[in-house]
Structure 1
Amino acid sequence: MATQLNRFSSDRLRWLSLRLAFCGIVVATPACHLPSLRGPLPGPAIPETVTQSAIPAGSPTENSANFSVDEFFHDSRLSSLIHEGLANNQELRIVQEEIQVARNEIMSRQGAYLPFLTGGASAGIEKPSEFTRNGAVEDQLEILPGRSFPNPLPNYGAGLNFFWQLDIWRQLRNAKDAAFFRYLASIDRRNYLVTKLVAEIAENYYTLMALDQRMITLNETIRLQSKSLEISKAKKDAGRGTELAVQRFEAEVKKNLSEKLVVEQEIIQTENRINFLAGRYPQHIDRDASNFFDLTLRPLSVGVPSDLLRNRPDIRQAERELYAAGLDVKVARARFFPTLAITAGVGYEAFNPRYIVRPEAIAFNVAGGLIAPILNKKEIRADYLSANAKQLQAIYHYQQLVLNAYVEVVNRVSKAENYRKSLDNKKLQLSALTTSVDVASKLFDNARAEYVEVLLAQRDLMDARMEFIELKREQLAAMTNAYQALGGGNMFQNMAPAPPRIMDKE
């Protein structure tokens, strides 16, 4: 007897050892054949300071992105338009719903690694053939003494089912963490759209003021030319002038009247662009262009390049997506290893509903399964390599955004400063041309200058005024875009809905 027990124990240990060895081979085999991943090429090093030529002399030290819209623009009308746009813009609302979708994705991924418990009821009927094993066996069996199985055989059941895939390789939790980073990236995408919306509304607002000044300049030019036209007609009637002078001044007046209609159309389109951004139908935009030439914004300050990484939402978005891409690689890698799942069920089952509540009708099952890929892993290998390629794309995209942000800041800040210096020179030109028009008009009135000199002086003055208006508009646009390039105008960065749960720790 003892010999038999020893033999039984020895056989059992041998069988258990074989099973453990097999499981070890199943687990270890995929890890021995993991494809090698490619690493990224190094990107350009971020400079420690911004190019000094881009920084205006006497600039404040605090980064301009830290100032609110009201502080930077200090224009109540413009601030009102911006706040209305942030509240009503449809594109912002669309992106806000994308944030909700990303938030729901976290909950979906979180539920994937938690146990599933389902309940249900079933009813059915079965009639096996008498020429099969099941039919022949049932024909010989009795449910109760003297009572055969019903034919056909009904089946009623109700119970609970349990399923749990154990996340032994963090595959499911890494997928949830990747969804969390993409949720944060969607918030940063919305915040970047906010900065662009602020800059576009402000730029169009200043364009509208510039168009008003163009209209004022055209009206003033038409007034001067109409006066010269009347003088030309008077000289012609007095025999001291010719029809040529009359026609030339007449042509100039008509040309500028035609230009006024073009400017009026541009005003309508610019107003409606602002209305569209503000989420409202066409209406008048309240503004005061009287101080357009003296309009100043808060001086620009770029801080240090590392401020861009902290302040610019598009860079933060790329950083979040980079983290998510790295987790996707881990998720794809886990597919090479076995998955362990536990299934169980408990309930009542009987061929007659009146027996279903009896203790004898209880049925249950418990099972565990370990499944690992052995052959034909091309799909898993391809997904793993594709995840690596997407991770490299995310790295290069991040490097590109950082480089582009630095270039944008340097270009826009230097543009604002150079246009400011150009305006100073243009003011001197305007002063000289205004004097020349007065002198030419007086000489023409006294028949000491030809009409061509007056015509050219008026035309040069109008062109110079138009250039001055355009330079001022470009300067304001450059400052607005520099504010946006620095990450300014991001008003909602702390107003995103909280995710369902923070990331799991390693």
Structure 2
Amino acid sequence: MSMFITDPARRTALAAVLAASVLSACSLMPRSAPELDLPQLPDSAAASPAELDRWWESFRDPVLDGLVSEALARNTDVVLAASRVQASQASLDLVRVNRLPDVNVSLQGSRAQYSNERPVPGRSRQYNTVSGGFNASYELDLFGRLSGQRDVARQVLASSRYALEGLRASVSAQVARAYFSLRALDADEALLSQTLVTRESALSLRDKQYAGGAISRYDLELARSERASAAAALAATRSAREQAETALSVLLGRTPRELVEKMPDRGLALSVLAVQPEIPAGLSSDLLTRRADVRAAEADLAAASLSVEVARTQWFPTISLTAALGGESASLGNLLSSSARTWNVGAAIAQPLVGLLSTRALVAQSEAQRAQVEQTYQQAARQAYADVLVALSAARGARESLAEIENLFDATRNARDLAEKSYEAGRSSRLVLLDAERERLSAERQLISSRLDRVTALVNTYQALGGGWSGSIESGADEALENPPPAAAAR
């Protein structure tokens, strides 16, 4: 018995169905993203992509470079984001597989006995049945439901990839800020340690002078208060530095043992880092393409738009083709013989009736979700421009403030030197010198804080401009999928 279709009419019908299935490969077209009211800006206003990609290297601190690399490989949030990308990729693969024909192979056997009440003349009451073969079914995607689901999965994957790149950019900025804060605390601790040594020496001298009757009790207590003030400030700064070390280690994704035994390395001094030149920064027309969070929101919007179209395909019927080829025999040895061969082909169409009400609700739900995602996209775009404006303002203010604080420090240092000479010459009291020393110490601590503000503002500007990633998900995300961070296996 031939399993090929010989009837011309049936051949024509089958050809029409196959042609329709080919046409169904066309994907649903999502509604385009809403137009944004963007300013007209030149492309040359901001830093180049090369300057933004690995911006932390512009500080020329190998220790900072190593810390960022360590965080990008081991940070828990980065590892989780990479896992979400892998999950999205698996979901896309699953949707793609669902578009392929479903093919199964089966083999089954049974032994049965007829009832004594239903004798079959010429046949034994007991008999064997062995059957097996191939079964295939295929849903024709005439209305784009399956291709739409595939396109939704693609956009979800793109969103997860952009989210991964955005998180990597955020973590690199967090590491830089934490490292700079640690270097500022190092500088403050060193300054206060030196101050404490000086004031302890002064207190020792005052003790001897008081014992000899050279100074009053007031002068002695004043020296004690100065020493206690420096010691208290040093203790607080040392505690803050230890907490900053722990926070940075956690950000780097280090193990509990490493948190205890391995402190973050130190590189360039804050005074050197703060000399970093200005970023050629400004608002650029390609800002939205540089921001990974905006790109992720755009992909989410595309996925939501496609989901609306996929929901609308539920109004239309589903058409499936089925086919089977196999055999049935009383013994396994004859199962493959031509006389035991069986086959069938068929088609099925299903049109929802009662389910139309649920489809209407599903479409309405999808449209409402798309409206929400559209607002999220517009907010992401607004926030991107706001971040740059705030960062540029903060960077300008930090630069101008640092220049004035440097002038203040120079003035207080000179004033302290003059007060010391005046005191030694007997032209002024000890109180004048102490006031000058306090002013110099306060100015130097302000200088450390201002330098920290300066480098932090640079980091924030780089981040606001979309720095910390290449601007494309093609290479970095594929690498993350194929080579997940080693910490993922450790956890």
- TM-score band w.r.t. shorter chain: 0.7 to 0.9
Seen in structure 2, the aligned counterparts of structure 1 residues 107 and 232 have a Cα distance that, compared at 3 Å, is: same
- 1:410 paired with 2:389, answer yes
1:165 match: secondary structure: strand
Deviation of 1:61 after TM superposition, in Å, equals 6.1
- 1:46 paired with 2:38, answer yes
- 1:89 paired with 2:106, answer no
2:40 match: secondary structure: coil
1:490 match: secondary structure: coil
Given that 2:46 and 2:283 are in contact with CA atoms closer than 8 Å, whether structure 1 keeps it comes out as no
Deviation of 1:186 after TM superposition, in Å, equals 1.5
Seen in structure 2, the aligned counterparts of structure 1 residues 458 and 60 have a Cα distance that, compared at 3 Å, is: same
Deviation of 1:80 after TM superposition, in Å, equals 2.1
Name structure 2 gaps, 5 residues minimum. Answer: 1-30, 482-491
Seen in structure 2, the aligned counterparts of structure 1 residues 444 and 229 have a Cα distance that, compared at 3 Å, is: farther
- 1:278 paired with 2:252, answer yes
User: Which aligned pairs between 1:167-206 and structure 2 lie closer than 5 A?
Assistant: 167-206=141-180
How far, CA to CA, are the matches of 1:191 and 1:388 in structure 2?
A: 28
TM-score, with normalisation over the residues of structure 1? 0.79
Aligned to 2:96: 110
Deviation of 1:485 after TM superposition, in Å, equals 1.5
- 1:468 paired with 2:454, answer no
User: Which aligned pairs between 1:425-504 and structure 2 lie closer than 5 A?
Assistant: 425-490=404-469, 493=473, 494-497=475-478
Deviation of 1:390 after TM superposition, in Å, equals 1.6
Seen in structure 2, the aligned counterparts of structure 1 residues 459 and 277 have a Cα distance that, compared at 3 Å, is: same
1:256 aligned to 198, 219, 230, which one?
Answer: 230
- 1:314 paired with 2:314, answer no
Given that 1:341 and 1:369 are in contact with CA atoms closer than 8 Å, whether structure 2 keeps it comes out as yes
Name structure 1 gaps, 5 residues minimum. Answer: 1-38, 51-57, 501-506
Aligned to 2:123: 148
Seen in structure 2, the aligned counterparts of structure 1 residues 225 and 334 have a Cα distance that, compared at 3 Å, is: same
Aligned to 1:504: none
1:495 match: secondary structure: helix
Seen in structure 2, the aligned counterparts of structure 1 residues 266 and 327 have a Cα distance that, compared at 3 Å, is: same
Given that 1:69 and 1:79 are in contact with CA atoms closer than 8 Å, whether structure 2 keeps it comes out as no
How far, CA to CA, are the matches of 1:456 and 1:466 in structure 2?
A: 15
**Corresponding residue pairs, total:** 443
Deviation of 1:170 after TM superposition, in Å, equals 1.0
1:122 match: secondary structure: strand
Seen in structure 2, the aligned counterparts of structure 1 residues 61 and 352 have a Cα distance that, compared at 3 Å, is: closer
1:120 match: secondary structure: strand
Seen in structure 2, the aligned counterparts of structure 1 residues 383 and 236 have a Cα distance that, compared at 3 Å, is: same
Seen in structure 2, the aligned counterparts of structure 1 residues 291 and 67 have a Cα distance that, compared at 3 Å, is: same
Aligned to 2:64: 78
User: More displaced, 405-414 or 372-381?
Assistant: 372-381
Seen in structure 2, the aligned counterparts of structure 1 residues 41 and 204 have a Cα distance that, compared at 3 Å, is: closer
How far, CA to CA, are the matches of 1:356 and 1:40 in structure 2?
A: 57
Deviation of 1:452 after TM superposition, in Å, equals 3.5
Given that 1:440 and 1:457 are in contact with CA atoms closer than 8 Å, whether structure 2 keeps it comes out as yes
What one-letter code is carried by the residue in structure 2 that aligns with 1:87? A
Given that 1:178 and 1:327 are in contact with CA atoms closer than 8 Å, whether structure 2 keeps it comes out as yes
Seen in structure 2, the aligned counterparts of structure 1 residues 205 and 41 have a Cα distance that, compared at 3 Å, is: closer
2:373 aligned to 384, 387, 394, which one?
Answer: 394
- 1:121 paired with 2:113, answer no
Deviation of 1:128 after TM superposition, in Å, equals 7.1
1:465-504 deviation line (CA, Å, top 9, x unaligned): 222211211221111121011111215842322899xxxx
Deviation of 1:230 after TM superposition, in Å, equals 4.5
1:349 aligned to 328, 331, 337, which one?
Answer: 328
Seen in structure 2, the aligned counterparts of structure 1 residues 487 and 407 have a Cα distance that, compared at 3 Å, is: same
Aligned to 2:25: none
How far, CA to CA, are the matches of 1:190 and 1:294 in structure 2?
A: 29
Given that 2:138 and 2:321 are in contact with CA atoms closer than 8 Å, whether structure 1 keeps it comes out as yes
What one-letter code is carried by the residue in structure 2 that aligns with 1:371? A
Given that 1:293 and 1:472 are in contact with CA atoms closer than 8 Å, whether structure 2 keeps it comes out as no
2:286 match: secondary structure: helix
1:286 match: secondary structure: coil
